Structure 1
Amino acid sequence: MIKKIFCILLLLFAVLPVWTLAASNMQGKRIVIESSLLGESREFQVLLPENYYADPSTRYPVLYLLDGDYLFHGASGLLDLLANKGQLIPDVILVGIADKGTDKYRQYMTPKGLTAPLKEQDNGRASEFLAHINSELTPYIEKNYRTADNTILFGHSIGGLFVLNALLESPDAFTDYLSSSPSVWLNDYAFVKRAKKVFAKSQHEPVSLYLSLGDETRMGQYGLIDVLDDLQPKNINWHFKHYPDENHVSVALFSLRHSLKKIFSGWFIAERELNKIESPDALLDHYKPLLAAFNINQAIPTPSVRAAISYFYRNKKQADINQFMLRVNKELPASEAAFVMMLASYVGHFDSPQAGVERLLDKEENFKHSIEFIKAIAVAYEKAKDNKLAFDYYQKALTLAKEQNANQWQVNIIEAKLLQTKVIENE
């Protein structure tokens, strides 16, 4: 008994440093760069997906969030559930662009020729700030992180007006423009008049525009919608969503969630639809062009992986699995680890626990940076009643969690398993 207590205490002290790291993970990393264009230092936060370090070849879309300090917590929590855990959209890198107080923020968000709401003497500096984003911030992000070619700009209220102005002045800077309750009313709807002239002759590459509105009645957005509806610009795939039950503040996150799901439509397939698939190959035929369209190489959602492997066992076609896995490795290489883990789970259950272990060990070197993959090996050893090796692999997973600053829920699972397998081993 004394030996068991000592082991438990030793393990607890060993993982204490991880708690502090994990607690700060959802805050993102705060970075300061010097802007020669603005003549000042600029701050922003970068939040990486949970699985960012699992596969060094994977690349991610980037969501640039205006008014980042104000909206960052809401947006990061939304992405945590929408992407990281819910898998309704692919994983996304979040960049929250900080402000420098209300007055300067409004100057930077307001297009030239319009006046910021609180300071009529201040001419808009949106063009300067857009140049900073395009020439200084975006290159920094692309240099230091594994970014995909698709980028999203989100702004709310006066930030929403900035997004619309960015679409006019620099339409090729982003692939998707998300404007939530934009302040189109400024200067007697002067922006609408300007937009009509620009949209009528724009010739840029196709982009998407997502407009939204809460319960407000004087934002002026319907005038802009009339322009879009009248001109129907072929290079702007525009959408509008009204949220009459949300106010000017609450509509921001609702519109962000809806827009992201629209942008990545087709990524998540509901269970009722998965049950209708004719074959696992049909799933690959669905995701291969979708990944190309999104310009990403991420693992597809777990429910889709499970549906594919389950199909072989339900229909007693296990003999076809190896050929299918070859196609996965060729056409969806970023999903290989997910398919191997799922297959190992089925093999361990229907064939033998040791066979499941062997499936995973065969690919361990390929996915040694993946916390989930190393955890899967530990679980497989547990099922094979080899608690010593299970403990060793949970310890490896904990080491990865420390190195990768894993979220607290991940740490909790590994800690509990370490205690469990160690106690069982010493009984």
Structure 2
Amino acid sequence: MYLFGKLHLLRIILILIFASAQLTAFAQEAIIKAGKLYTIESEILNEERKIAVFTPDGYAEGQVTYHVMYLLDAEWNFKYVAALLDKLTAAGEIPGILLIGVVNNNRNRDLTPAGKNDNPARFGGGKKFLDFLTQELQPWVKQNYRTHPYSILAGHSFGGLFTVYTTMEEPERFQAYIALSPSLGRNGEQQVKKADAYYEQNAPIPESIYVAVGNEGGYTAISTKKYAHILQDQESGLRFKFEKLEDSSHESITIEGFIHGLKFIYEGFNLEQFPELDEIFLVEEHYKKLSERFGYELKVPESQYQRFAREQMVTKEWDYARFILSQYEKHYPGSIELVSLKADLNLLTGDFKEALKYYEMLNSLGVESESLSRIIKELKD
């Protein structure tokens, strides 16, 4: 047993405060990665297609599966959407998402549904392009990456038109859709008229659809509002949201729109919106309900176990703090922050031998700092 005077113990706790800040920074450090670019051969389209892939932070080290976001017009949208996903995931707004960007070969041809007077060499190849996405690209992604069946299709302008088209042509292929400033005025509002008939038939629907327009006029704004009115009036259980983003134009809507769309799809992930979830068991129950909605188990974020454990340590509820850390360990057994909290708890409860064990474990896991070295030295003296 180690014997410490009060002043000696206070010195260690003061060092601990600074060390904890450094360890937290170490654990939360994030790096924005560049995507990988692949070329795959499409038999359906009879051409090569370039595909960009961005994996979420921690993908290479883990074994979990991920939701997938299929992003159209990747040559324009991929880099900043990858950064948005990275930031929203780190902020706890959404889970980690695998981003698949589809680079255009012939944008007008691929992203437009067939119309009455279309020249097929220039427009109206939407069905073949959808077949490419669902019959070739999705299997390729599943074969090469760890994916969960929940997937999102997202597009802007002609990409938004194609996204709306897909919600009715093959709605089960994607579970959620983001359509920004969709060109729904094309071909005499063909897709708007189709939607009016489609939702009258109680036809299959996806889990969520988000649609937005910017501060823009013309057929895009008018037709999209008509489409939104149709979906808002139907009672099929579809989660649908329409917004007019006043501060965005047709061209600039993508940044704000993709953020809003992702937050809508993953509504409930940001626990700051639920102040009533003030006990760890309430948070676990909340995530259980989210898991039921998305069709697979969603883990409570590490940050929640850390928050509740620290709160109990501040109020000296030692047994409850130990219980929370035991729950934390079940879901994140290799967490560096978990080891740090175990060390802190043992120090505060006077079990200096156990505290030393966990601080030395941190050191062996690669955490190096002057503060940590001083704590270990103090505990050994």
Give the TM-score, by structure 2 length.
Answer: 0.80
Cα distance, 1:273–1:199 mapped onto 2, change above 3 Å? closer
SS at match of 1:172: helix
Partner of 1:127, secondary structure, is helix
Cα deviations by residue, 1:273-314 (Å, 9 ceiling, x for unpaired):
55x654322222222332343345565445422221123213
Find out whether 1:80 has 2:79 as its counterpart. Answer: no
Q: Which residue of 1 aligns with 2:41?
A: 34
* Structure 1 residues 311 and 211, CA gap change in structure 2 (3 angstroms): same
2:255 aligned residue: 253
Q: CA deviation at 1:139?
A: 0.9
Q: Deviations along 1:217-272, whole A, 9 cap, x unmatched?
A: 12021121222234x141422110111121011111111101111111221222x9
Partner SS for 1:304 = helix
Cα gap change, 1:267/1:201 in structure 2, threshold over 3 Å: closer, same or farther?
Answer: same
Q: Deviations over 1:308-366 (max 9, x none)?
A: 11232133221234444444455xx258737724623633763578745634888x9xx
CA distance in 1, matches of 2:34, 2:259: 19
- 1 CA distance for matches of 2:277 and 2:334? 20
Shift of 1:170: 0.4
Question: Aligned in 2, Cα 1:206/1:155: closer, same or farther, shift over 3 Å?
Answer: closer
Identity level (%): 25
1:21-420 equivalences under 5 Å are: 26-56=33-63, 58-83=64-89, 85-100=90-105, 104-113=106-115, 122-204=122-204, 206-218=206-218, 219=220, 220-230=223-233, 232-270=234-272, 277-295=277-295, 297=297, 300-328=300-328, 333=331, 337=335, 340-341=338-339, 343-344=341-342, 346-347=344-345, 350=348, 355-356=354-355, 358-359=357-358, 374-376=365-367, 382=373, 384-385=375-376
1:37/1:120 Cα in 2 relative to 1: closer, same or farther (>3 Å)? Answer: closer
Which runs of no fewer than 5 residues in structure 1 stay unpaired? 1-21, 365-372, 387-427
Tell me how far apart the structure 1 counterparts of residues 152 and 352 of structure 2 sit (CA, whole Å): 45
The alpha carbon displacement at 1:48 in A equals: 0.5
Match of 1:393 in 2: none
Cα deviation code 1:340-393 (max 9, x no counterpart): 24623633763578745634888x9xxxxxxxx94558799535447xxxxxxx
Q: Number of residue pairs matched? A: 344
Query: What stretches of structure 2 of length at least 5 have no aligned partner?
Result: 1-29
Q: Is the 8 A contact 2:280 2:304 kept in 1?
A: no
TM-score where L is the length of structure 1: 0.72
CA distance in 2, matches of 1:334, 1:114: 56
* Matched letter for residue 139 of structure 2: P
**Range that drifts further, 71-80 or 170-179:** 71-80
Cα pair 2:287 2:299 within 8 Å, conserved: no
Identify if the C-alpha distance between structure 1 residues 382 and 173 changes in structure 2 by more than 3 Å, giving closer, same or farther.
farther
Secondary structure in structure 1 of the residue aligned to 2:62: coil
Going from structure 1 to structure 2, the CA distance change for 1:71 and 1:378 (only over 3 Å counts) comes to: same
Q: In 1, Cα distance between the equivalents of 2:56 and 2:224?
A: 34
Q: RMSD of the TM alignment (CA)?
A: 3.2
Q: Contact conserved, 2:56 with 2:98, CA < 8 A, in 1?
A: yes
Contact 1:208 1:237 in 2 (8 A): yes
Contact kept, 8 Å, 1:306 with 1:342, in 2: the verdict is no
Q: What CA distance in whole angstroms lies between the structure 2 residues aligned with 1:263 and 1:214?
A: 19
For the structure 1 residues 329 and 39, does the alpha-carbon distance in structure 2 shift closer, same or farther, using more than 3 Å as the test? same
Counterpart-to-counterpart distance in 2, 1:125 and 1:335: 50
Paired residue type of 1:96: G
Relative distance call for 1:203 and 1:326 in structure 2 (3 A) is farther
Change (3 A) 1:50 1:194: same
Change beyond 3 A, Cα 1:109–1:312: same
